[in-house]
Homo-oligomer: A and B are copies of this chain.
Amino acid sequence: MKEVLRPLWQLTASQASTLMQQGRLSSEQYVRACLDRIAEREPQVKAWAHVDADTALAQARACDAQPRRSALHGIPVGLKDVIRSFDQPTRFNSPIYANHRPNEDAHSAEVLRLHGAVILGKLQTLEFACGGQFPPTCNPWDLARTPGGSSSGSGAAVADGMVPLALGTQTGGSTIRPAAFCGAVGMKPTWGRIPFDGIKSFAAHLDTVGLFARSADDLALLLEAYALLETEPPGVPPLRQLKLAVCRTPLWAQAEAVAQYAFAAFLERLRAAGVQLSELAWPEELAAINTWQDEVMQDGGRSAFLPELLKAPELLHQDFKNKLSNHLQLTPAGMRLALDRIAQARMTFESAMGDADAVIGLSAPGPAPLGLHSQGMATFNRLWTALQVPCISLPLLWSPEGLPMGLQLIHRRYEDHRLVTVARTLESALYEERHPWN
């Protein structure tokens, strides 16, 4: 009963879902609570590109009138504004698309809607999830700090209690980074498992749908909707038999002292809890992986933004024109080299994981930096995006001033289910609830 005594908007999706199943909460009540939270906080946080209370409440009432379709039935979800939705604008934070209203849902949005989810609204993004214009979004923990990007609104809205679940994307660090900076739970599933249909693309080898929630249990709800849970339960051992491989990556020196310190202290907690820790040393010859990732990402932009260059060059930010003009002077041979080294790194990494139940590292080099015209660094994201492996950021590390920093969990490709199970184990043992509103 204690959940219902808290403001309804504080419920996680799983908690709300249980209450709805028991007939103690309606979708309309829950959605209304989220809309109230948005009304209260949005003037400061600026997470939303579009919310239309009438459209959201109409969906909620329709859900309440129908038989429950899944655990997501009646649960509100926000969409990063590069993900199409048939009943709301999709603007990519680009002036070219100021009046853009596609009449279809993206695959990732439609699947949630077909499970009964309510599409609450569209969340702020860096222009085309890529560059150019920054969103106005602030970090709910400290309005002077960036929420991280490019899924800025998704991270901020979920962490701030405006919506329990959201979708984003990741091509560099666009899901794990804002999840870490905002203290949300974020997941980048294995590349390609959730189709990118209906989302503005940036770089085909890297573009991945991202998931945002306030608990690992809620991530599991989303994975279930996308049919990413295997039929065989993965059988992850309990905390004190868990084997985790610590991967500092070749870029550890770029982590801030506070992050290194919090990570080391967290490892001590894990050891004290009986977790077996090993070291996963990143092979010397793969040290340049972030450079290869960047080449693949920049090359993607050469074709992704061609329509915008052709139809409205005057409204396209210079960042995109640079990509289109191949300012890095990428060559066919250079692209093959980058892609093949990444392919080799994938095999090397996954083999080096050995019998570990997951790999752990930092989600970001530190807490959210000050200023809204930066997204922070994607140092500890680009390599995993390049490897196409599933990653989860959990709010288990904190700076001395109380800002969230993410612990990142990584697994082999296609082990999304296992990874979520490890995240649930860690969360249930080691997470103490901390929210911007506490």
Contact = CB atoms under 8 A, between A and B. Distances in A.
Interface of A: 101-104, 107, 110-111, 114-115, 191-197, 199-201, 204-205, 226-228, 230-231, 300, 302-304, 306-307, 310-311, 324, 326, 332-333, 335-336, 339-340, 343-344, 346-347, 350, 412-415
13 contacts: A103-B103, A107-B306, A107-B307, A114-B310, A194-B303, A195-B204, A195-B303, A196-B201, A196-B204, A197-B201, A226-B306, A333-B414, A336-B414
A350 to B, nearest CB: 7
Contacts of A194: 303
Contact of A193 (B191, B303, B350): B303
A416 B228 CA distance: 35
B307 A110 contact: yes
B114 A414 contact: no
Contacts of A195: 201, 204, 303-304
Given A114-B311, A226-B303, 7 more contacts: A102-B102, A110-B307, A111-B306, A192-B204, A195-B201, A197-B201, A343-B343
Contacts of A192: 204-205, 300
Contacts of A333: 414
A4 to B, nearest CB: 31
Contacts of A326: 231
A348 B38 CA distance: 55
A201 to B, nearest CB: 5
A230 B334 CA distance: 13
Q: Which of A101, A192, A200 gathers most chain B CB within 10 Å?
A: A192
Given A204-B191, A332-B415, A339-B413, A114 B307 contact: yes
Nearest to A205: B192
A348 to B, nearest CB: 11
A111 B307 contact: yes
Given A303-B227, A346-B340, A412 B201 contact: no
A301 to B, nearest CB: 10
Contacts of A111: 306-307, 310
Contacts of A346: 340, 343
Contacts of A103: 101-103
A244 B307 CA distance: 36
A230 B306 CA distance: 15
Given A114-B307, A196-B201, A196-B204, A332 B227 contact: no
A112 to B, nearest CB: 10
A101 B86 CA distance: 12
A101 B103 CA distance: 9
Q: Which of A101, A196, A414 gathers most chain B CB within 10 Å?
A: A414
Contacts of A227: 302-303, 306, 324
Contacts of A302: 227
Given A103-B103, A191-B204, A227-B303, A412 B350 contact: no
Contacts of A200: 197
A134 to B, nearest CB: 23
B191 A413 contact: no
A412 B226 contact: no
Contacts of A102: 102-104
B115 A310 contact: yes
A333 B339 CA distance: 21
Nearest to A304: B195
Contacts of A199: 197
A373 B133 CA distance: 51
Q: Which 5 A-B pairs have the closest CB atoms?
A: A332-B414, A192-B204, A343-B343, A114-B310, A103-B103
Contacts of A324: 227
A340 B346 CA distance: 8
A359 to B, nearest CB: 15
Contacts of A306: 107, 111, 226-227
A344 B195 CA distance: 25
Nearest to A232: B331
B191 A332 contact: no
A343 B341 CA distance: 10
